[in-house]
Structure 1
Amino acid sequence: MHAKNISEARKGIGQGVGSSIAWGVNTVIIGVILSRAPFIDTKEAIILAPFVSSFAHDLLSALWLILLMAVKGKIIELLKYMKTRNGLIISLAALFGGPVAMTCYLLGINYIGATYTASLSSLFPGIATLLAFIFLKERIGPRTWLGIVLGITGVVILSYMPTDGSSHHHFILGILLALGSALGWGIEGVICAWGMKGDDADPEIAVSIRQITSALTYAILILPIIHGYSLSFQVVSSGAVWMLVITAFFGATSNVLYYKAIHLIGASRGTALNNIYAAWAIAISVVVFREAISFQLIIGTIIVIVGSFLVSGNLKELVHLVHISSDFESEESKVS
């Protein structure tokens, strides 16, 4: 955490909320893309769609970020940072946040839809908070723990589905995949906070490394294994590529704001605020696409979001905890 005053804490919280809005838009557009050609043309395409769309999303997002680095004159700085210890740590975070979490997330959307997947995967702030408490020594009070409990309760409500004849046989698998994305993003938040501990850390460079690493992992490792390049070329030559360019822009924007929030207010609070994307995704689905939602989904999502606000804490407390954390690290340095 690096917020030294109320103004910086407020800025970090604003960035966290902004990242959630961008990711909510991103989520809904991805759901639309996966329901159209060429992702539904054949049975094989339907199976490969989450992997190929995730690769395309992260690759195009990386290109948007490289363009941003070029405009700001940071390309050389980016290349140098990639070789540092912190750069390697960010690359490790990318593996959890990209190939692991993003693939689970898109598979979840494929099986149970954007609204359920967005709501269930929003458990990741609780996971990040627990890991940040254990490994990063972030201070967590009773209010934050209550938020974690509410988040878990909300997920239980969202996950419950009576086993009657109308139940979709992919529902449980979709639930597990959505929770898998929550675990991956929770781990990513903590690792990237670890990689941006220094005062000279640049969240924009960090998230650029994140997206580049994720895209390369898909290109070099995942797509060759699943034979996904054929579908990838079909996507590039289809009209879907322009929707992917748009959603990649929102994805890049969300990730930049998310990493900036983590840098200023810590992994636990940054992930908690980013988590509100579930509400934005549901709101957009209802207003724009007239999608029907259940009372169970509304209640579960509200509980998860309330839990996230509790995790965030208040601004004065946040700045106070930043100073405590800094003093704690200084004492550790003296002892070592």
Structure 2
Amino acid sequence: MVGMVDDLEKVMRNENKSRVRWGFIWAFTCAVLWGLGYVSLSMLWIVPPFGDWMIFPEGASGYLVATIIMTACTAITFSVVLTFVWVGGQSKLADLPRTILFFKVSKWYALAAAFGGPIAIFGSTIAVGYIGAAFAASAALLCSVVGAIVAKLWYGENITRRAWAGICMIIIGGIFIWNPSQMLAEIMNPAAPDGIWIGYVGGVMSAIGWGMEGAVAARALDITDADTGLVVRFISEALLWIFVLWPISMLVFGIDTMATVIVATLSSPSFLIWIVITGLSLGLCYIALYKSFPLIGVGRGLSVSTLYVPFAMVSLYVFMGAPIAWWLVLGAMIAVLGTFVMYWESGDSLLECTRDCKPALNELKHD
């Protein structure tokens, strides 16, 4: 009997080791794809109609219209690419309608879509357009802090003293990334683009949005499949843009303006090519990130995925010749180190689950 118990414990221990190993593999895969994705995201601002800018309103309104159309097209493309390339490739298409109709779970993916699309991706996209991809990538690092704190307050994900020390390091890195003196100088510069402060607000939006999305999505990932769940998340976002946010944008910026930009965008071959490439990088990066959450927790998943920043900086320099400011490099390295201080463990502590899954399971039983 004792031997049987020992064998069972050994099997469970090996299973936990495999779970943690694959969690880190998925998070690292996310980092690589996320970093490369900033190249294609930057290209969207260069190709027509966004590169020539002739059909857009002047000043900040033009940037907002461009970002609204670009982010909505991103959500639509991600839905299509992930449905047929990823879910279809795994023969899981039949599971998709079941996940959509399972409202106890799909409601969480819809909420994650609201945080991840109109807040995080929108914010990061406008930060790329106004400030640059290197800043946008670095600013989003603060999502680790947001995700960890929300996960702690909401469903008890552990934050140790070491994690708090890591959070302090990330905040210090954030000070370098934002470089307040440089930011104020750019905002006050008469030669700067009109409404450049919106780009910095976009950086804040990306950090808050992705941190909140991670915490919300983890609630659904406890009780459903990550592959079909992520497609439901992007379908929800696409529907939100098409049926809610686009009509509101038409009221604000004018029906003719929005219709002209939408038609020009969807009829631009170069834009369509790069938006598909973006879907194959950032879309699949989302798959990897969502798979890591139930395996190693929101905090660890976000912390390992922050390695996307070095990949983004190297990719932007190699493929686009983009110069990277020293304060961005320093701040990003401090923040990345801080995220590893937060969640890097060794030995048996790595095998401990960082999240209590009972709240999600209880809700599933009692709703």
- How many percent of aligned residue pairs carry the same amino acid? 23
For residues 228-279 of structure 1, give each alpha carbon's deviation from its aligned partner in whole angstroms, at most 9, with x where no partner exists: 3432221221121111111111122101000000121111111222222222
Partner of 1:213: 236
| 1:53 correspondence with 2:70 | yes
- Counterparts of 2:81 and 2:349, CA distance in 1: 32
Q: How many residues align?
A: 328
- Residue identity matched to 2:304: L
Does the 8 Å CA contact 1:144/1:313 hold for their aligned counterparts?
no
Counterpart selection for 2:154 from 135, 138, 145: 135
Contact 2:63 2:126 in 1 (8 A): no
- Which of these two proteins has the greater Rg computed from alpha carbons? 2
Unaligned runs of 5+ in 2: 1-13, 251-257
Q: Distance in 2 between matches of 1:46 and 1:324?
A: 40
Q: Secondary structure at the match of 1:322?
A: coil
TM-score for both structures, normalised by structure 1: 0.90
- Check the 8 A contact 1:5/1:319 in 2, yes or no: no
Deviation (angstroms), 1:224: 2.3
Q: Give the alignment partner of residue 32 of structure 2, picking from 21, 30, 36.
A: 21
| Equivalent position of 1:38 in the other structure | 49
* Deviations, residues 147-204 of structure 1 (Å, cap 9, x unaligned): 1111111111111242448844644432221111110111110011111223xx2110
Q: Which residue of 2 aligns with 1:174?
A: 199
Give the TM-score normalised by structure 2: 0.83
Aligned equivalent of 1:236: 266
**Cα distance, 1:321–1:140 mapped onto 2, change above 3 Å:** farther
Contact 2:38–2:312 (CA<8 Å) still a contact in 1? yes
CA contact (8 A) 2:56 2:66 kept: no
Partners of 2:207 and 2:20 in 1: CA distance: 25
TM superposition shift of 1:312: 2.8
Alignment of 1:103-118 (within 5 A): 103-118=122-137
Equivalent AA in structure 2 for residue 233 of structure 1? V
Is the partner of 1:52 in helix, strand or coil? helix
Alpha-carbon shift at residue 50 of structure 1 (Å): 1.1
Query: In the aligned structure 2, how far is the partner of 1:318 from the partner of 1:205?
Result: 31
Q: Distance in 1 between matches of 2:169 and 2:334?
A: 6
Q: Is 1:292 aligned to residue 323 of structure 2? A: yes
Q: Structure 2 counterpart of 1:203, which letter?
A: A
Q: What is aligned with 2:282? A: 251
CA distances 1:6-64 after superposition (whole Å, capped 9, x unpaired): 22212111111111211111122111211332012333254411111111111111101
* Counterparts in 2 of 1:147 and 1:226: CA distance versus 1, 3 Å: same
Contact 2:30 2:305 in 1 (8 A): yes
1:222 aligns with 2:255: no
Moved more, 279-288 or 179-188: 279-288
Q: Determine whether 1:192 maps to 2:217.
A: yes
SS at structure 2 position matched to 1:42: coil
Counterpart code for 1:89: W
The change in CA–CA distance for 1:319 and 1:325 in structure 2 (over 3 A counts) is farther
Aligned-pair RMSD on alpha carbons? 2.5
Q: Which residue of 1 aligns with 2:113?
A: 94
User: Does 2:138 correspond to 1:119?
Assistant: yes
| Cα distance between partner residues in 1 of 2:48 and 2:345 | 46
Aligned equivalents of 2:337, 2:125: Cα separation in 1? 25
Structure 2 counterpart SS, 1:37: coil
Match of 2:343 among 302, 312, 318: 312
